[in-house]
Amino acid sequence: MSAPPTLRSLAKSLGVSRTTVSEALRGSACVRPETAERIRKVAEAAGYRINPLAGAVMSELRRSSSNTFRGVIALLVLDEPGRPAYANKFYHEITHGAMESAKKLGFKTESLTSSGKTGVSMSRLNQILDSRGIQGVVILPVYGDPDFSGLDWTRFAGVYTDYSIRKPALHSICPDHYRSLVRALQKLHERGYKRPGLFMHRHTDERLLGRWQGAFLAFQNSITEKRPVPPLVADEINVDNFKKWFARHNPDVVIGHQSEAIEWMQACGARVPQTHGFFCLNMLRQHVPCAGLEQRTALIGARAVESVVAMLHRNERGIPEISSLTTIPSRWMDGPTVKGNAQG
């Protein structure tokens, strides 16, 4: 039985250096395209399989003063001037979860910001990732329409930590918005709330392809309430349009992201939780103690890193032929704004 091909044996048969073979198989621009193509064909015919972590190992060892190696996973952030401030908490939790997971798997993470006024360009980002031997990429949520198509994805294994990305269509990991809200509505119903009302920004509803509103309407159709409360969906949720909606429909429990709505409800005469309840869709956005959903954001970061590392070990790089979506169920958190909670 012949020995499996190595970089050294391939270099000898091709009459080039071992470094040239390695750079060509990694897709480096340092090798002439015709030479790289010839090397790839010979390597494929010989049955050589690339170890995607080998380049990262050597790169890290060259840059490190110690002999301890830790693989690197890049956490990519798109610089967006219009991104709301509350997104920073979400980013912090995802990053923390990713770092902890990477540490357990023998990796470390490196945060990089792309585009916008303060970030690097996509072409420069390609160079940075290549020079540092980074092949694993986790993209943090983008408030607008994410576009990372400028990266050379033939070199990377990547995952997006939000609902959907089209440029390119990568695997995604995010909260299970639909199932989490349906379960929360069921629990609120069991506690005596019969006329739930949902409010949210139109942009939030659209970027999740209607998952929150879809769950709410589906639940309404499953109960026997004759006067269901229509959702309040607007470009901006403010005290004026909220109070008009609340006064007209009088939901017995209000569900949304903005805990400021508790004060707006009280201004309309509601006593929370005695006469009305409030439930927050994302506890990272609460300003006062309340009941709501913990979206397990740190777990999303951890699962993203685990997924990327698994792809690297399977020698999977590039845009997947069929992208998948992994959803993490949110956790109900009791609080003083609903009846029957552990605190009141």
Predicted confidence (pLDDT) per residue in 174-226, tens digit: 999 999 999 999 999 999 999 999 999 999 999 899 999 999 999 999 886 66
Cα–Cα distance list, 340 to 102, 309, 334 (Å): 40, 43, 9
Q: Pick the more confident residue, 14 or 336.
A: 336
pLDDT at residue 14, as a whole number:
84
CB atoms within 10 A of CB 323: 16
Residues 6+ away with beta carbon under 8 Å from 104: none
pLDDT at residue 344, as a whole number:
43
**pLDDT of 63 over the 80 cut:** no
* Tokens describing residue 22: 């390695």
pLDDT at residue 38, as a whole number:
87
**pLDDT of 22 over the 90 cut:** no
pLDDT at residue 129, as a whole number:
92
pLDDT at residue 12, as a whole number:
84
Predicted confidence (pLDDT) per residue in 236-270, tens digit: 999 999 999 999 999 999 999 999 999 999 999 99
Highest-scoring range by mean pLDDT, 56-65, 81-90, 285-294, 333-342: 285-294
In the chain the domains, ranked by start, together with CATH numbers, are 61-175+298-328 (3.40.50.2300), 177-294 (3.40.50.2300)
Confidence of residue 65 (pLDDT cuts 50, 70, 90): very low
pTM score, whole prediction: 0.78
Q: Pick the more confident residue, 161 or 224.
A: 161
pLDDT at residue 66, as a whole number:
44
Residues 6+ away with beta carbon under 8 Å from 221: none
Mean pLDDT of the region 32-54:
77
**pLDDT of 70 over the 80 cut:** no
What are phi and psi for residue 326, nearest 5 degrees? -110, 125
pLDDT at residue 68, as a whole number:
46
pLDDT at residue 171, as a whole number:
97
Confidence of residue 57 (pLDDT cuts 50, 70, 90): low
Strand locations in 87-133 (E): 107-114
DSSP code for 167: B
**pLDDT of 135 over the 70 cut:** yes
Mean pLDDT of the region 99-107:
92
pLDDT at residue 10, as a whole number:
82
**pLDDT of 52 over the 70 cut:** no
pLDDT at residue 118, as a whole number:
57
Burial of 97 (0-12, 13-18, 19+ CB in 10 A): buried
Give the C-alpha separation, 329 to 279, whole Å: 17
Task: Look over the chain and give the mean of its residue pLDDT values, rounded to a whole number.
Answer: 88
Least confident of 56-60, 135-139, 238-242: 56-60
C-alpha of 13 from chain center? 45
**pLDDT of 157 over the 80 cut:** yes
Question: Considering only CA atoms, which of 335, 331, 282 is closest in space to residue 86?
Answer: 282
